[in-house]
Amino acid sequence: MPPKVKEAFDEAMASARTYEARADSAQAWRALERAHILSQRWVVPHLRSHVAMLAAAWRAGDAREIAGQLLRLLLAAPGSFLDRAPLGNTGRANVGLFTPMPIPQELARLLDARTPAPPKVVSHDRA
Protein backbone atom coordinates (compact mmCIF):
# COMPACT_ATOMS: atom_id res chain seq x y z
CA MET A 1 0.00 0.00 0.00
CA PRO A 2 1.56 3.32 -1.02
CA PRO A 3 2.35 5.67 1.89
CA LYS A 4 -0.31 8.28 1.05
CA VAL A 5 -3.00 5.61 0.71
CA LYS A 6 -1.87 3.97 3.96
CA GLU A 7 -1.98 7.32 5.73
CA ALA A 8 -5.53 7.99 4.50
CA PHE A 9 -6.58 4.43 5.40
CA ASP A 10 -5.14 4.75 8.92
CA GLU A 11 -6.86 8.13 9.34
CA ALA A 12 -10.21 6.67 8.27
CA MET A 13 -9.83 3.75 10.69
CA ALA A 14 -8.90 6.14 13.53
CA SER A 15 -11.83 8.41 12.66
CA ALA A 16 -14.19 5.43 12.81
CA ARG A 17 -12.96 4.63 16.34
CA THR A 18 -13.32 8.26 17.40
CA TYR A 19 -16.86 8.56 16.02
CA GLU A 20 -17.86 5.27 17.59
CA ALA A 21 -16.51 6.44 20.96
CA ARG A 22 -18.73 9.52 20.56
CA ALA A 23 -21.71 7.23 19.76
CA ASP A 24 -21.95 8.69 16.25
CA SER A 25 -22.49 5.44 14.41
CA ALA A 26 -23.45 7.07 11.09
CA GLN A 27 -20.12 8.91 10.89
CA ALA A 28 -18.24 5.84 12.13
CA TRP A 29 -19.72 3.77 9.30
CA ARG A 30 -18.87 6.46 6.74
CA ALA A 31 -15.25 6.38 7.93
CA LEU A 32 -15.20 2.56 7.76
CA GLU A 33 -16.60 2.70 4.22
CA ARG A 34 -13.83 5.11 3.21
CA ALA A 35 -11.24 2.80 4.77
CA HIS A 36 -12.75 -0.11 2.86
CA ILE A 37 -12.63 1.70 -0.48
CA LEU A 38 -8.99 2.61 0.11
CA SER A 39 -8.03 -0.91 1.16
CA GLN A 40 -9.61 -3.10 -1.52
CA ARG A 41 -6.46 -3.62 -3.58
CA TRP A 42 -4.41 -4.92 -0.65
CA VAL A 43 -5.20 -8.14 1.21
CA VAL A 44 -4.28 -7.27 4.81
CA PRO A 45 -5.79 -3.75 4.94
CA HIS A 46 -8.91 -5.05 3.17
CA LEU A 47 -9.29 -7.74 5.83
CA ARG A 48 -8.68 -5.14 8.57
CA SER A 49 -11.50 -2.97 7.22
CA HIS A 50 -13.93 -5.90 7.30
CA VAL A 51 -12.82 -6.95 10.80
CA ALA A 52 -13.50 -3.37 11.96
CA MET A 53 -16.91 -3.45 10.24
CA LEU A 54 -17.71 -6.79 11.86
CA ALA A 55 -16.74 -5.41 15.28
CA ALA A 56 -18.92 -2.31 14.76
CA ALA A 57 -21.84 -4.48 13.65
CA TRP A 58 -21.33 -6.75 16.67
CA ARG A 59 -21.33 -3.81 19.09
CA ALA A 60 -24.49 -2.47 17.44
CA GLY A 61 -26.16 -5.89 17.57
CA ASP A 62 -26.91 -5.71 13.84
CA ALA A 63 -27.40 -9.36 12.83
CA ARG A 64 -27.73 -8.61 9.11
CA GLU A 65 -24.47 -6.62 9.06
CA ILE A 66 -22.70 -9.29 11.14
CA ALA A 67 -23.73 -11.99 8.65
CA GLY A 68 -22.71 -9.76 5.73
CA GLN A 69 -19.32 -9.03 7.23
CA LEU A 70 -18.63 -12.70 7.99
CA LEU A 71 -19.29 -13.52 4.34
CA ARG A 72 -17.16 -10.60 3.18
CA LEU A 73 -14.29 -11.72 5.42
CA LEU A 74 -14.26 -15.01 3.52
CA LEU A 75 -14.15 -13.25 0.15
CA ALA A 76 -11.94 -10.22 0.92
CA ALA A 77 -8.53 -11.88 0.76
CA PRO A 78 -9.08 -13.78 -2.49
CA GLY A 79 -10.82 -10.75 -4.00
CA SER A 80 -7.86 -8.49 -3.27
CA PHE A 81 -5.22 -11.09 -4.12
CA LEU A 82 -6.82 -11.87 -7.48
CA ASP A 83 -7.60 -8.18 -8.14
CA ARG A 84 -11.31 -9.02 -8.32
CA ALA A 85 -12.59 -6.75 -5.54
CA PRO A 86 -15.34 -4.49 -6.92
CA LEU A 87 -13.64 -1.12 -6.67
CA GLY A 88 -15.55 1.62 -4.92
CA ASN A 89 -17.81 -0.88 -3.15
CA THR A 90 -18.41 0.37 0.39
CA GLY A 91 -18.15 -3.11 1.90
CA ARG A 92 -21.46 -2.95 3.76
CA ALA A 93 -24.04 -5.72 3.90
CA ASN A 94 -26.61 -3.42 2.25
CA VAL A 95 -24.73 -3.42 -1.09
CA GLY A 96 -24.06 -6.28 -3.47
CA LEU A 97 -20.89 -8.25 -2.88
CA PHE A 98 -19.68 -7.80 -6.45
CA THR A 99 -21.13 -4.36 -7.22
CA PRO A 100 -18.56 -1.73 -8.24
CA MET A 101 -19.49 1.75 -7.09
CA PRO A 102 -18.28 5.27 -7.85
CA ILE A 103 -15.18 6.21 -5.90
CA PRO A 104 -15.24 9.65 -4.23
CA GLN A 105 -12.88 11.99 -6.12
CA GLU A 106 -10.44 12.56 -3.26
CA LEU A 107 -10.06 8.80 -2.76
CA ALA A 108 -9.76 8.18 -6.50
CA ARG A 109 -6.88 10.67 -6.65
CA LEU A 110 -5.08 8.80 -3.87
CA LEU A 111 -5.67 5.42 -5.46
CA ASP A 112 -4.56 6.61 -8.90
CA ALA A 113 -1.28 7.74 -7.32
CA ARG A 114 -0.58 4.05 -6.72
CA THR A 115 0.56 3.54 -10.30
CA PRO A 116 3.27 5.75 -11.76
CA ALA A 117 2.41 7.83 -14.77
CA PRO A 118 3.59 6.36 -18.06
CA PRO A 119 6.84 7.82 -19.34
CA LYS A 120 6.47 10.73 -21.70
CA VAL A 121 7.38 10.00 -25.26
CA VAL A 122 9.71 12.61 -26.59
CA SER A 123 9.86 12.93 -30.31
CA HIS A 124 13.14 14.00 -31.82
CA ASP A 125 11.68 14.30 -35.29
CA ARG A 126 11.97 17.79 -36.73
CA ALA A 127 10.07 17.06 -39.88
Mean pLDDT of the chain: 90
What pLDDT, on a 0 to 100 scale, did the predictor assign at position 112?
A: 85
How far apart are the C-alpha atoms of 103 and 39, rounded to whole Å? 12
In tens, the pLDDT along 16-37 reads 999 999 999 999 999 999 999 9
DSSP 8-state class, residue 102: P
How far apart are the C-alpha atoms of 47 and 74, rounded to whole Å? 9
pLDDT mean over 1-9: 95
Contact 60, 67 (CB under 8 A): no
What pLDDT, on a 0 to 100 scale, did the predictor assign at position 29?
A: 98
Structural domain boundaries in the chain = 3-112
Residues 6+ apart with CB under 8 A from 14: none
How far apart are the C-alpha atoms of 82 and 77, rounded to whole Å? 8
In tens, the pLDDT along 89-118 reads 999 999 999 999 999 999 999 998 544 444
How far apart are the C-alpha atoms of 26 and 20, rounded to whole Å? 9
What pLDDT, on a 0 to 100 scale, did the predictor assign at position 124?
A: 53
